[in-house]
Amino acid sequence: MFSKITLKRAAKAESESPFWISFSDLMSALMTLFLVVMATTLVTVTNSVSSVEQRKIQRETDIRELMSQIKELSREFPEVKVNESTYRIDLGDVVRFDSGRSDITSNGARFLRRYVPVLLKAQQTDIGRRWIRRIVVEGFTDQDGSYLYNLGLSLDRSRRVVCALFVSPSQTEAPLNIAQKTQIRDLFLVGGYSFNSTKESKEASRRVELKVEFWALDENPSTISAPASKEFGQCP
C-alpha cells in the first residue's frame, strides 16, 4: 500500500561536488594573483616616486652648489651681491644709469668684462654644463615716464651690458677670447622690466641684474640644438 519514499541528500551532494571544489580553488588562485599584481604595482610606483624625488633632491643640491660657487668667486668684487635663493646677481652701483639714459660708463664696462668671466667659469664646470640654461640680463628703470617708454629703456640698458662685453678693451685689460665671446652669445639673454620692480630710490632703480636660469628636471641640454654660428657684429 505504501510506496517507498526515497529522500535525496541534495545539500551533501552539492557540498561534495568536485565542481564546487574546483571553483573555490579557482577563486583562491585569482585572489592570490590579484594580490601579487597589486603588490608588484605598489613596489614599482614606490620605486618610481623615490627615483623622481632623489633626482629632485640632486638637482636642488647641484644648484645650491653652483650658486655657492658663484658667490665665492664674486667675493673679489665688493659691488656684487649674489642672492643664492633667487639666483639673482645685483651688480651694484658700478653699473647704474642716469635718468633716461642707457649708456654705460667706461668704468662700468671694464667691470663687466672682468666680472662676467666668473659666470662663464661656473657654467663650464660639470654641474654648470648640466644645469645652467641661460643667464638673463634684466634691465630696470625708475617710475619717471610711461610704461612703454621705460620698457624700451630697460631693454636697451640690458642690451648695452651685453654690448660692453664685446667692445675692444683698453690696453690694461685682458681681452675676452673668442671662446668666451661665443659662450656669451649662446648663454646670455636680455630682458626688460620697465619700472615694475623699483628700489628704495630712483638711482638704485636704474640698474641691471643678472638672473641665472636652470634646466628643468626632465630637460636634457644635450638634445637642444646648438644655435647657428653667427658673427658677433657691433652694437649701433
pLDDT in tens, 115-148: 999 999 999 999 999 999 999 999 999 999 999 9
Q: What pLDDT does residue 1 have?
A: 47
CA distance 110 to 108: 5
pLDDT in tens, 68-107: 999 999 999 999 999 999 999 999 999 999 999 999 999 9
* Residue 131 falls inside a structural domain: yes
* Residue 23 falls inside a structural domain: no
Q: What pLDDT does residue 196 have?
A: 81
Domain harbouring 201, CATH code: 3.30.1330.60
pLDDT in tens, 9-67: 544 545 555 555 565 666 676 777 777 677 666 656 566 567 888 889 999 999 999 99
Q: What pLDDT does residue 16 have?
A: 52
pLDDT in tens, 150-198: 999 999 999 999 999 999 888 888 889 999 999 999 999 999 988 887 8
* Residue 214 falls inside a structural domain: yes
Q: How many domains does the chain have?
A: 1
* Residue 58 falls inside a structural domain: yes
Tell me, letter by letter, the H, E, C secondary structure of the chain: CCCCCCCCCHHHHHHCCHHHHHHHHHHHHHHHHHHHHHHHHHHHHHHHHHHHHHHHHHHHHHHHHHHHHHHHHHHHCCCCEEECCCCEEECHHHCECCCCCCCCCHHHHHHHHHHHHHHHHHHCCHHHHHHEEEEEEEECCCCCCCHHHHHHHHHHHHHHHHHHHHCCCCCCCCCCCHHHHHHHHHHEEEEECCCCCCCCCHHHHCEEEEEEEECCCCCCHHHCCCCCCCCCCCCC
pLDDT band at residue 212 under the 50/70/90 scheme: very high
Q: Supply the pTM of this predicted model.
A: 0.74
Q: What pLDDT does residue 181 have?
A: 94
Grid coordinates of 32: 592570490
* Residue 119 falls inside a structural domain: yes
* Residue 170 falls inside a structural domain: yes
* Residue 208 falls inside a structural domain: yes
Residue 232 backbone zone (phi > 0: left; psi -120 to 50: alpha; other: beta)? alpha
* Residue 25 falls inside a structural domain: no
Residue 101 backbone zone (phi > 0: left; psi -120 to 50: alpha; other: beta)? beta
User: How many angstroms separate the Cα of 160 from the Cα of each of 5, 16, 178?
Assistant: 113, 94, 19
CA distance 63 to 123: 11
Range of the domain at 186: 52-223
Q: Is the pLDDT of residue 208 over 80?
A: yes
pLDDT in tens, 106-116: 999 999 999 99
